[in-house]
Chain A
Amino acid sequence: MNNLTRSAGKILPLLLVSTSLVLAGCSDNDHDASVPPTPTPAPDRVFSVTVTNLTANQPMSPIALLAVDKDYHPWQTGASASSALEQLAESGDSAGFQVEAGSISSITAGAGILAPGASETLTMTLADDSVASMSLLTMLVNTNDAFSGLNNVNLDGINVGETQRIMTAVYDAGTEANSELKGTIPGPADGGEGFNAARDDVNRVHLHPGVISHDDGLTDSVLNASHRFDNPALRITLTRSQ
């Protein structure tokens, strides 16, 4: 189900060439042309990350895009969720993920809720060559504690102009029972509670079994048939532009 394709970018090198031509045209003729150019430092690495919400009726909480260490994992299936992940998966709030030496070196936030069918492009500029990987997290807000994203994608092998396209599955944080009850779901289907520190589920991250909904016989569910989902939930297109 995961399609991974690479294609060489053609537009960007042309843009870079035209930019340098413009700069050359602005140079001051009074200066001695023989002055050697100052050595250019290693350029920043710039990645554009386009996220498309593939679900029928699950708005995504604002995207959290993390530049991370190669050994950092925001979640591990089979292990209990961190409190930061619990907060994200239950309420959509990514504030628990903080910049910290040795794990997260920068956080880029999406502009807001990513509606079903909508796409958003985030830009991540990495000045620090030691940053090896990228993580991405978002909550499916019409659920108790479902989330999707990228765990740890190594950036070292991606050359300028290359694109990776990744489809992501839906995980269950395992921190809140999937009751679908009124008052338990923060998204527009309910407007209920977000984060609650109590853990009343299996307390391990796993692939989400899907929601049931009122239409499918869970009579006290606030969800309807359109809130059901199948994998994948997101398409993420990662392009290194510089």
Chain B
Amino acid sequence: MNLNTLTRSLLLGSLISTSTMAAELEIRINNLTHGNHFTPVLLAAHDGDTHLFNVGEMASSSLQKMAEGGDIADLVTLVESANGVTVINPAAGLMAPGQTVEGIMLNSQTLTHLSIVAMILPTNDAFIGLDAWEIPTTPGTYTINLNGYDAGTEANDEVVNGGGMPGAPGIPAAPGGDGGANATGVSDMSSNDKVHIHPGVLGDTDVNGGMSDLDSRVHRWLNPVARVVVTVK
């Protein structure tokens, strides 16, 4: 064995041990809905104590900003301050109904859990959510179905009026250009102010009035709303 071979085998050995330490993830996200867009998606690898949201608990203000207006900046800060890593906006904009984004690379290093969120449009405060999924240590391909959650922070009045800031009622936009106008608003009688499963939007068939600016033939969904395929290399 000459020195060159020895060096190479040492290098190879170090590469192999590095790859067992650092999980390289390749991720695919598919919007499964009939007529709903997702705002820029946040993917985060983090430790087991970090959560972007907790089902059955009140939403943080960071989560509220994402769920009501699609603003993920505060959640990115949360992950980075906990020494996590993020992939931001892999679709380079909105994810249209049916759209698939492939080849999202995320080096999770020694981080153990994966979370994914994005707002569902047009809604008041619905979002797709994966909460702290434990990243498998065995290489392979894993499929996860994501539910649509309700942040519980804003009444689901289903009025499209540009309201996307926390506390501002209404829906920021109907990106498909298929929303209505002049709705009187749905009276949301739910008292659940915790993060919960979204009951689904109501909508109606009146584009220039009625109770809702959403179209019941276009904007309804049933869970799951997104499919995530993670390949652990």
User: What residues of A have a CB within 8 angstroms of the CB of B145 in the complex?
Assistant: 1
26 contacts between A and B (CB under 8 A): A1-B145, A1-B147, A3-B133, A54-B55, A54-B56, A55-B197, A56-B150, A56-B192, A57-B189, A57-B192, A117-B193, A117-B194, A119-B56, A216-B202, A225-B156, A225-B189, A226-B188, A226-B189, A227-B189, A228-B199, A229-B199, A229-B200, A230-B199, A230-B200, A231-B223, A235-B55
User: What residues of B have a CB within 8 angstroms of the CB of A216 in the complex?
Assistant: 202, 216
For the complex formed, measure the closest distance between the CB of B148 and the CB atoms of chain A, giving whole angstroms. Answer: 7
Contacts A55-B199, A216-B202, A225-B202; A232 near B223 (Cβ below 8 A):
yes
User: What residues of B have a CB within 8 angstroms of the CB of A56 in the complex?
Assistant: 150, 190, 192, 196-199
Does A94 count as interface, using CB distance less than 8 angstroms? Answer: no
Can you name the residue of chain B whose Cβ is closest to the Cβ of A223?
B189
Can you name the residue of chain A whose Cβ is closest to the Cβ of B148?
A230
**How big is chain B's contact interface, by range?**
20 to 34
Which secondary structure dominates chain A's binding surface?
loop
Contacts A52-B55, A117-B56; A230 near B192 (Cβ below 8 A):
no
A57 to B197, CA, bound (A): 11
User: What residues of B have a CB within 8 angstroms of the CB of A232 in the complex?
Assistant: 147, 197, 223
Partner of B196, one of A5, A117, A213, A225: A117
Does B23 count as interface, using CB distance less than 8 angstroms? Answer: no
User: Residue-by-residue, is B52-82 near A (CB-CB < 8 Å gives 1, otherwise 0)?
Assistant: 0001100000000000000000000000000
Does A123 count as interface, using CB distance less than 8 angstroms? Answer: no
- A-B contact number at CB 8 A: 97
A43 to B139, CA, bound (A): 38
User: What residues of B have a CB within 8 angstroms of the CB of A27 in the complex?
Assistant: none
For the complex formed, measure the closest distance between the CB of B30 and the CB atoms of chain A, giving whole angstroms. Answer: 15
**A1 and B223 form a contact (CB under 8 A):** yes
Does A233 count as interface, using CB distance less than 8 angstroms? Answer: yes
Partner of A228, one of B55, B148, B202, B221: B202
Of residues 190 through 242 on chain A, the ones whose CB sits less than 8 Å from some CB of chain B are: 213, 215-216, 224-233, 235
User: Residue-by-residue, is A1-18 near B (CB-CB < 8 Å gives 1, otherwise 0)?
Assistant: 101010100000000000
Can you name the residue of chain A whose Cβ is closest to the Cβ of B145?
A1
**A225 and B133 form a contact (CB under 8 A):** no
Does A116 count as interface, using CB distance less than 8 angstroms? Answer: yes
A213 to B189, CA, bound (A): 12
User: What residues of A have a CB within 8 angstroms of the CB of B186 in the complex?
Assistant: 215, 225
For the complex formed, measure the closest distance between the CB of A7 and the CB atoms of chain B, giving whole angstroms. Answer: 7
User: What residues of B have a CB within 8 angstroms of the CB of A224 in the complex?
Assistant: 187, 189
Contacts A225-B199, A229-B197, A230-B200; A7 near B150 (Cβ below 8 A):
no
**A116 and B191 form a contact (CB under 8 A):** yes
Of residues 47 through 88 on chain A, the ones whose CB sits less than 8 Å from some CB of chain B are: 52-57
Can you name the residue of chain A whose Cβ is closest to the Cβ of B211?
A215
User: What residues of B have a CB within 8 angstroms of the CB of A229 in the complex?
Assistant: 197, 199-200
User: What residues of B have a CB within 8 angstroms of the CB of A118 in the complex?
Assistant: 56, 194
**B134 and A5 form a contact (CB under 8 A):** yes
User: What residues of B have a CB within 8 angstroms of the CB of A225 in the complex?
Assistant: 156, 186-189, 199, 202
